[in-house]
Structure 1
Amino acid sequence: MREIIVCTFLTLDGVMQAPGGPDEDPESGFEQGGWQKPVSDDEVGAATADWYEGSDAMLLGRKTYDIFASYWPTADPANPFTARMNGMRKYVASRTLTSVEWQNSTLLEGDIVDAVRRLKDSDGGDIQVVGSGDLAQTLMRHGLVDEYRLTIHPVIVGSGKRLFADGAIPTALEPVSASTTKSGTIVAVYRTNGAPGHDSY
C-alpha cells in the first residue's frame, strides 16, 4: 500500500500559509507571505530535497498546483530540482479545474477521499502532499495521512492558515527523526500512531 506523506514548511506558531512569497497566497488578508526565506538555509533545502527521493508522486490542491504549474515548467533547467518536479507524477484535487496542463499531471475525479483511498491501494511509491493546507486537513480528518515531514522555522507571524487548525483529529505521533539546522529550523519527521494516550501527574 502506498503511503500519504504531508510535507510542509511551518512557522513556530504553526502557520503554513504563503512561505514562498508576499503574493503567494493573500487569502483572508494574510500580509506575512514570504516569511520562509529570511529564516531558512541550505541545510533546509538539502533536507527537503532528500524527502523527494523516496516518493514518486505529489498530491496537490488547486492553489498549490497553480503556483507550481506557473513556475516549474519554465524554471532554470540547471537547477536539479527542476527536472525532479516536472518529472514526478502529480495528482490534483480540485472542484473547479476541468483540466491540468503541467506534464505528468492527473486531475482526480469524484470524491477526493475515495480517490485518495484508491491511490493508496494502487501500485507505486509514496505520495507527498506538498503545501495544500485544505487538502491536507481533509486527509487528516479521514485518517489518510501516514507521515508528516515538517520544517519548523524560527519566526512567529501571528495569523494565517495552520496545518493543525482547530478541529484537527487528536493523533499520537511517533518521532522518526529530528534535527536543527544552523538557522535554527527544526527538521522533523513523525509517523501517525493511532489515538493519543492520556494520563495524569
Structure 2
Amino acid sequence: MRDLIVTQNITVDGVIEAGDWFGPADGGPEVLEALREQMAGADAFLTGRVTFEQMRGFWPAQTDDPTGVSAYLNQVQKYVVSSTLQDPGWEPTTILRGLDEVRQLKQTAGEDIVCTGSIDLTHQLIEADLVDEYRLFIYPSVVATGQRLFPDGSAQRLTLTGSTSFPSGVALLTYRRRAHDATS
C-alpha cells in the first residue's frame, strides 16, 4: 500500500492559501533541496482540478527552472480528482472521479503519492481518513486570515517523525497519522 502524503507550505497560524507570505524560493536553497528529496521519493502527484489547471498554465512553460519543480511535474504521473475535467492537456495525467478512486490508487504498487495545494481536495482527503503523512513547510509568517490545513471538526492525533529548521526561518515538520486514532 502506498502512502498518501500531504505536503503544504503553511504559515505559523496554519494558513495554506497562497498569498504574499510565500514564494517558491523564499525558503532558500536548503528548502529546495528538501523538496527535491521529497520529489525523488514520489512517483505520483495528486491534485484537485483548480490547482491542476493553475499549475498546467504555469509549470510546463518554465524551461529555465533551476528548482527542478518544472522538470518533475512535467514527467511525474499526475492524478486529478475532478468530476468535470475531460481533457487534462498535460501528460502524463489520469483523471480520478472521486475518493474511491484515490483509495484504489493507494492500493497499487509504487512510491509515495503527494498532494500539494488543493485545499478543497486536501480537506476531503483528511475527512475520508486517507492521509498517511503530513509534511509541513512552516514559514515564519502570520497572516491571521485564510483557509487552514485542518477544517473545523477534523481532530487528528499525529506523531512527529521528523523536524528540520532552515537558515531562512522555515521549518519542516513531518507527522504520521496514528492509525484508527483520528478523533481520540
Which residue of structure 1 lines up, in the alignment, with residue 176 of structure 2? Answer: 191
Which residue of structure 2 lines up, in the alignment, with residue 82 of structure 1? Answer: 70
Which residue of structure 2 lines up, in the alignment, with residue 30 of structure 1? Answer: none
- Mapped partners of 2:108, 2:121: distance in 1: 20
Q: Aligned match of 2:51 in 64, 88, 93?
A: 64
Question: Is the contact made by 2:156 and 2:183 (CA closer than 8 Å) also made in structure 1?
Answer: no
Aligned: 1:178 with 2:163: yes
SS at match of 2:104: helix
- Deviation for aligned residue 1:73: 1.2
- Mapped partners of 1:123, 1:196: distance in 2: 26
Question: Is the contact made by 1:58 and 1:127 (CA closer than 8 Å) also made in structure 2?
Answer: yes
Per-residue CA deviation, residues 17-71 of structure 1 (Å, 9 max, x unaligned), is 01xxxxxxxxxxxxxx231139532222221221111110100011210121011
SS at match of 2:57: helix
182-191 vs 37-46, greater mean Cα deviation? 37-46
**Number of equivalent positions:** 181
- Deviation for aligned residue 1:135: 0.6
Which residue of structure 1 lines up, in the alignment, with residue 149 of structure 2? Answer: 163
- Mapped partners of 2:183, 2:148: distance in 1: 24
Which residue of structure 2 lines up, in the alignment, with residue 24 of structure 1? Answer: none
Given the superposition, is the C-alpha separation of residues 136 and 105 from structure 1 closer, same or farther in structure 2, using an over 3 Å criterion? same
- Deviation for aligned residue 1:95: 2.6
Which residue of structure 2 lines up, in the alignment, with residue 137 of structure 1? Answer: 123
SS at match of 2:6: strand
- Deviation for aligned residue 1:153: 0.6
SS at match of 1:83: helix
Given the superposition, is the C-alpha separation of residues 78 and 132 from structure 1 closer, same or farther in structure 2, using an over 3 Å criterion? closer
Question: Is the contact made by 1:77 and 1:83 (CA closer than 8 Å) also made in structure 2?
Answer: no
The unaligned stretches of length 5 or more in structure 1 are 19-32
Given the superposition, is the C-alpha separation of residues 84 and 140 from structure 1 closer, same or farther in structure 2, using an over 3 Å criterion? same
SS at match of 1:151: strand
Question: Is the contact made by 1:64 and 1:131 (CA closer than 8 Å) also made in structure 2?
Answer: yes
Residue identity (%)? 38
List aligned pairs for 1:98-177, cutoff 5 A: 98-109=86-97, 112-168=98-154, 170-177=155-162
Rg larger for: 1
SS at match of 2:60: helix
Please, what is the CA RMSD of the aligned residues? 1.8
